[in-house]
A and B are shown apart, each in its own frame.
Chain A
Amino acid sequence: NAGVTQTPKFQVLKTGQSMTLQCAQDMNHNSMYWYRQDPGMGLRLIYYSASEGTTDKGEVPNGYNVSRLNKREFSLRLESAAPSQTSVYFCASRTTEQFFGPGTRLTVL
């Protein structure tokens, strides 16, 4: 039982490049979430998915898109990366409590 897994762990992009961050959970949770965490700050919600087939914007959705591929997988896409998107990205899933993945550390040059 791996819990919430994320790939890649680290990524460096140039401004304007695109990439997809992958997230999967094996706990049969309906709800999944993407957060970003900037130095010295808490977690800010980017997008969430209440269940398979639904997605909704969180606090900071601009510059991102998401896909809830199936119940297990929830991906986050940066279509044209900007330096302001340098951050650590966490995926989470939820039953009564929320469980987090280990994070993806993204640097945009």
Chain B
Amino acid sequence: GQQLNQSPQSMFIQEGEDVSMNCTSSSIFNTWLWYKQDPGEGPVLLIALYKAGELTSNGRLTAQFGITRKDSFLNISASIPSDVGIYFCAGPELVIGTYKYIFGTGTRLKVLA
């Protein structure tokens, strides 16, 4: 089946630094989703990308849908302590009647004040 590989697996950064993480797939996706999971909570959708090459921003977050439709990146500018958490990428796989979602293994972000 399809797999999503995220890198880096984890990262420590200083408050105020910019962060970049990416997600690659073994096959093409028509949509890319980026989620953030805070400790002890469920994942929350950050950004959804629907077109190859699309660049979308949400506050300090920017995500891009790769031209090949096999990759995506997420950037966080000027990181703050509340950016701590696990960031997941996800892509939909069409099944009968709906989509099921393939999730990456996550990038764990820790911000040092």
Chain A residues engaging chain B, CB cutoff 8 angstroms:
4, 30-31, 33, 41-45, 48, 50-51, 54, 56, 58-59, 90, 92, 94, 96-103
Q: Is the CB of A98 within 8 A of B98?
A: no
A-B contacts counted at CB < 8 A amount to 57
List B residues 70-92 near A (Cβ within 8 Å).
88, 90
B33: Cβ under 8 A from any A Cβ: yes
Given contacts A51-B97, A94-B99, 4 further A-B contacts (CB under 8 A): A44-B103, A58-B100, A96-B48, A102-B41
Shortest CB distance B13–A (Å): 20
A-side contacts of B104, CB under 8 Å = 42
Shortest CB distance A104–B (Å): 10
**Which listed residue, B1, B43, B96, touches A90 by the CB 8 Å rule?**
B43
B59: Cβ under 8 A from any A Cβ: no
Shortest CB distance B104–A (Å): 6
A-B contact pairs, 18 of them (CB 8 A): A30-B98, A33-B101, A41-B105, A42-B88, A42-B106, A44-B103, A45-B100, A45-B101, A50-B95, A51-B98, A59-B1, A97-B45, A98-B101, A99-B45, A100-B35, A102-B41, A103-B41, A103-B42
B-side contacts of A33, CB under 8 Å = 100-101
Q: Is the CB of A97 within 8 A of B106?
A: no
**Which listed residue, B33, B35, B100, touches A48 by the CB 8 Å rule?**
B100
Q: Is the CB of A90 within 8 A of B42?
A: yes
Identify the interface centre among B48, B88, B103, B104: most chain A CB within 10 Å of its CB. Answer: B103
